[in-house]
Chains A and B, each alone.
Chain A
């Protein structure tokens, strides 16, 4: 594992840049555990202070330090994104592989469900869930709802890969040798589907973070829990742009762009690594 990481850093510049960016943003987010004040506290500091040696990224109109707010916000946003990604990947892989491999009635039933989900508009449904849940709306509920909406395109993609694998010789051989359906799916097909899962996972993570930002900017989330979108929501509420408090909006946006960029670079380079052919050609073997 350690050796793989070292090789990737040495031979793959995209990976190195993506790794450094993501690690940097992650460490920055991790720092919120050592924050000098709780992230929910307001009016502890003088409001509207521009970036200075004392307050590196300035303070908000609500008397919070932008630095520590951002640290918590990125942590919460990433947590949300990763939860959505993991949940929706589980759904997408299960649905895609089962419907692709078993075919027939399973395929029909699952793909009908899948296509129905594709046809449903995401944002209105999330808003509906928010209005129904209202007070009991917490981020895990929102993440679960987003995950239920975010698996369908990728399930179709994974299904298409499995569909072609089903008719390959190695599958027929495995069936003949007496491997069971779960064994074939996990041992024979999953490694093949893995790059697809990885790539869609990165896309999904970026989509989930974007969704979280969208909902929070509109105020449809737990607004007392700092997130990137939540920060922009509060900045808008206090008319930060008109008031010239640019640091309240610019720094969160820079952070999220760096995170997106890092994740994207990681996605393409890890993808290249997983395919043994492109890995070897890169290493010159």
Chain B
């Protein structure tokens, strides 16, 4: 039924499908001669393996979306890549996102698809749903009109949608159906890599659960890798294999989901996890004092130090490197000193 059965599902294969090295992407603005630089993505290095679901967590304005946009190669000025590289490996074919824009353009949708923020509005309100499939996927699949239509209908059925939705306008569908459709749209070409920016944020909890199960199911069946962003830690807990925590444009901690939840190494991660409500626990959740820093003038040293309960003098002057520790990586001078909340 699917052409990708040979990929072994459930096993995380060792070869990395995505390699991000020393990536720096800044918003560079020039207003009336005053240059302003917002360091939204600052020196991020990460790899994602085949069949893996990687979640990126962090609070609002921490640079999550900028990071994921930069990885997708979907950035527009004023956001620019200043340094570093993003390389995909689709079955031995290495693709440098910022080195070969032409090849990148061809690989999109076929190998790499993107579920964007607010993706419920991805469908053009004045056109029938079938046109969206045609516009985005038809050229990449190299099928005849009829075979394409059959493929799309089959795909929709697998995702639990009636193929009749193809003939409707977006406003005739419910939010959950539209969300399913955008996932169908992103997966119809059976890509190797899916990038999802807050895929469930606008949905209520029940639909959210449904959609998450769907994403996981599709990923398992197609053997794709997924990188997704959300501030909702429960979503990470539900589907991510590994999570990376982003604070002020930097990756501060990364590790297998369970380990990060059980034993956070970075004080910021510890706070994020401690803020989650738990069943039966009626104590008040403490909020982290302060606000995320202004990325135009980030604090010196470790960017978390003004809000960090464990901050020492070294934190104010020196930026901690992201180093291997236990099963993951962490960037903190006092890593591991926080007791798991």
Interface residues of A (CB under 8 A from B): 168-170, 172-179, 183, 187-188, 191-192, 194, 275-277, 280
CA distance A192 to B123 in the complex (A): 12
Given A173-B114, A187-B131, A276-B171, 8 new contacts (CB under 8 A):
A169-B119, A170-B122, A172-B74, A173-B116, A173-B136, A177-B136, A179-B135, A187-B135
CA distance A192 to B132 in the complex (A): 14
The residue from B123, B137, B171 contacting A277, defined by CB atoms under 8 A apart: B171
Contact across chains for B121 and A170 when beta carbons are under 8 A apart:
yes
Contact across chains for B109 and A177 when beta carbons are under 8 A apart:
yes
Per-residue contact bits, chain B 85-128, to A (CB 8 Å; 1 contact, 0 not)? 00000000000000000000110110000101111011111110
Contact across chains for A170 and B108 when beta carbons are under 8 A apart:
no
Q: Select from chain A the residue with minimum beta-carbon distance to B128.
A: A276
Chain B residues with CB under 8 A of A194: 126
The residue from B126, B131, B135, B172 contacting A177, defined by CB atoms under 8 A apart: B135
Chain A residues with CB under 8 A of B119: 169, 173
B169 at the interface (CB under 8 A from A): yes
CA distance A80 to B126 in the complex (A): 32
Nearest CB on A from B303, distance (A) = 29
CA distance A65 to B17 in the complex (A): 83
CA distance A176 to B97 in the complex (A): 13
Q: A175-B74, A176-B72 are in contact. Are A169 and B135 (CB under 8 A)?
A: no
Chain B residues with CB under 8 A of A192: 124-126
Contact across chains for A177 and B171 when beta carbons are under 8 A apart:
no
Contact across chains for B74 and A191 when beta carbons are under 8 A apart:
no
26 A-B pairs within 8 Å (CB atoms) are namely A168-B121, A169-B116, A169-B122, A170-B122, A170-B123, A170-B132, A172-B74, A172-B116, A173-B119, A175-B74, A176-B109, A176-B114, A176-B116, A177-B108, A177-B140, A178-B109, A187-B131, A188-B127, A191-B126, A191-B127, A192-B126, A275-B126, A276-B126, A276-B171, A277-B171, A280-B172
Identify whether the interface residues of A are mostly helix, strand, loop, or mixed. Answer: helix
> Sorted from nearest, which 8 A-B pairs have the closest CB atoms?
A177-B136, A169-B121, A170-B124, A191-B126, A169-B122, A173-B122, A177-B109, A276-B169
Chain A residues with CB under 8 A of B139: 178
CA distance A192 to B117 in the complex (A): 22
Contact across chains for B116 and A191 when beta carbons are under 8 A apart:
no
Nearest CB on B from A164, distance (A) = 12
Q: Select from chain B the residue with minimum beta-carbon distance to A180.
A: B105
Contact across chains for A188 and B116 when beta carbons are under 8 A apart:
no
Contact across chains for A176 and B124 when beta carbons are under 8 A apart:
no
Q: Select from chain A the residue with minimum beta-carbon distance to B104.
A: A178
Chain A residues with CB under 8 A of B127: 188, 191
Chain A residues with CB under 8 A of B123: 170
CA distance A183 to B131 in the complex (A): 13
Chain A residues with CB under 8 A of B74: 172, 175-176
CA distance A179 to B140 in the complex (A): 11
Nearest CB on A from B227, distance (A) = 15
Chain B residues with CB under 8 A of A172: 74, 116
